[in-house]
Amino acid sequence: MVDEVSENAVAGTAGTVGTAGAVGAVRIPVQGEGVRVERGNGFVCTSAVEELTKRAVAYLRAGYAVHFAGTAGTGKTTLAFHVAANLGRPVMLICGDDEFGSSEFTGREAGYRKHKLVDNFIHSVLKTEEETRALWADSRLTTACQNGYTLIYDEFTRSKPEANNAFLSVLEEKILNLPKLTVSGDGYLRVHPEFRAIFTSNPEEYAGTHKTQDALMDRLITVNIGHYDRETEVEIAVAKSGVARREAEKIVNMVRELREFGVNNNRPTIRASIALARLLAHVGDDAWSNDSALFRGMCRDVLNVETAKVTRDGQSLMLRKLDEVLDRADLARKTPSCAKSSRVSGRGKQRKE
């Protein structure tokens, strides 16, 4: 009888501290929840942007992953967030990194939890019970797959190809393999039906990027993003800076002309237009006319004239080209006022006669 009472007391004590269960892994959710994204007031949505958005949303709603590919400065990440906002689901963001391994996507062990119970309820009976369990920290991919979030994998080609292998089964079989959790029986995770993925990448020849395995690219619908049309770039420059439209047009015209000059026709990008428009708004719209030397210096700094890689006698031709474009812009700015003065003086002569 004493043994039975003692055993029940031990069982009851053990139950109160929760030591029942097999030895395995304890899963720790990732820190933070998905972020709800909404279209901002400063987002420019012209017909060109709307057409790209509709195509991407259609692919995602059909269950496919979308890949925005293009040169730097074409707004791939901004477009990815805009598309994600149209889906109406929380968003998880991952930025590619050369140091990433598979654990960044499947999760990783985060130490151990040890529990020890010493039961001496009956002074003549001593029972000791120990339990050690591994702690498993979920990744952002694991959380997105489990809860049906939209995952934005920005510049994913900066991660090594082998690190991205986890996406192969996620995008095709809709299963995330979790090899470290096989002890507890959770060897895989079924992907939530609302899970969607948006990838962005720069060209392979960019520094710090890796060639992606064909198996992953075959699972993505790639949308090539180039520079937008002139009207869209003007609208973006105005929205991001608050500068007058006529000044934004002159800046965009200058940047677009310089973009076609030199070996690399991808720079300067819309970022240069936004930067110059913001600077002009900060120093005053009349800085272009009243202090041309100041704005010319800003243009040389922002546009980084050495990137054209076109030289003559060891000197960069980009600076000369930039001066030509600025001279034409100054002439275009002065022409209307000169014409107006001529008309006024002409009317004065007629009255005098």
Say if strands 127-137 and 91-95 run parallel, antiparallel, or are unpaired: unpaired
Helix (H, G, I), strand (E, B) or coil at 44: coil
pLDDT tens-digit readout, 101-137 = 877 787 766 666 677 777 777 777 777 777 766 666 6
Of the two residues 86 and 105, the one the predictor is more confident about is 86
- Residue by residue, DSSP assigns 248-286 as HHHHHHHHHHHHTSSS-TT-S-HHHHHHHHHHHHHH-TT
Q: Read off the amino acid at residue 184.
A: S
Please check whether residue 166 is in contact with residue 107, taking contact to mean a CB–CB distance below 8 angstroms.
no
* pLDDT at residue 262 is higher than 70: no
Q: Please provide the distance, in angstroms rounded to a whole number, between the alpha carbons at the two ends of the chain.
A: 134
Q: Is the dihedral of CA 322, 328, 331, 333 positive or negative?
A: negative
Q: Read off the amino acid at residue 136.
A: W
Categorize the per-residue pLDDT at 310 as very low, low, confident or very high, splitting at 50, 70 and 90: low
Six token digits for residue 235: 């609208």
Q: Which residues pair with 115 in a beta bridge?
A: 131
Q: CB count, 10 Å around CB of 118?
A: 9
pLDDT tens-digit readout, 209-250 = 899 999 999 999 999 999 999 999 999 999 999 898 988 998
Cα angle value 97/102/108 (rounded, 5°): 110
Q: Which domains does the chain have, with CATH numbers?
A: 25-224 (3.40.50.300), 230-334 (no CATH)
- Whole-angstrom Cα distance, residue 149 to residue 154? 15
Categorize the per-residue pLDDT at 259 as very low, low, confident or very high, splitting at 50, 70 and 90: confident
pLDDT tens-digit readout, 181-203 = 544 456 788 999 999 999 999 98
Categorize the per-residue pLDDT at 13 as very low, low, confident or very high, splitting at 50, 70 and 90: very low
**Long-range contacts of 322-329, Cβ-Cβ distance < 8 Å, separation of 24 or more:** 322/258, 323/296, 325/254, 325/257, 325/258, 326/254, 326/292, 326/296, 326/299, 329/250, 329/253, 329/254, 329/288
Residue partners of 23: CB distance under 8 A and separation at least 6:
131, 132, 133, 183
State the pLDDT at residue 233.
93
* pLDDT at residue 318 is higher than 50: yes
State the pLDDT at residue 217.
95
State the pLDDT at residue 339.
44
- Whole-angstrom Cα distance, residue 67 to residue 80? 9
Average pLDDT, stretch 137-162?
Answer: 91
Of the two residues 87 and 207, the one the predictor is more confident about is 87
Q: Report how far apart, in Å, the C-alpha atoms of 322 and of each of 36, 206, 272, 298 are.
A: 43, 25, 13, 12
Cα angle value 168/170/174 (rounded, 5°): 125
Could you tell me how far CA 236 lies from the centroid of its own chain?
18
* pLDDT at residue 78 is higher than 60: yes
Mean pLDDT score of the chain: 77
Categorize the per-residue pLDDT at 338 as very low, low, confident or very high, splitting at 50, 70 and 90: very low
Categorize the per-residue pLDDT at 157 as very low, low, confident or very high, splitting at 50, 70 and 90: very high
State the pLDDT at residue 153.
96
Q: Which residues of 232-249 are buried (b: 16+ CB within 10 A; e: fewer)?
A: bbbbbbbbbbebeeebbb
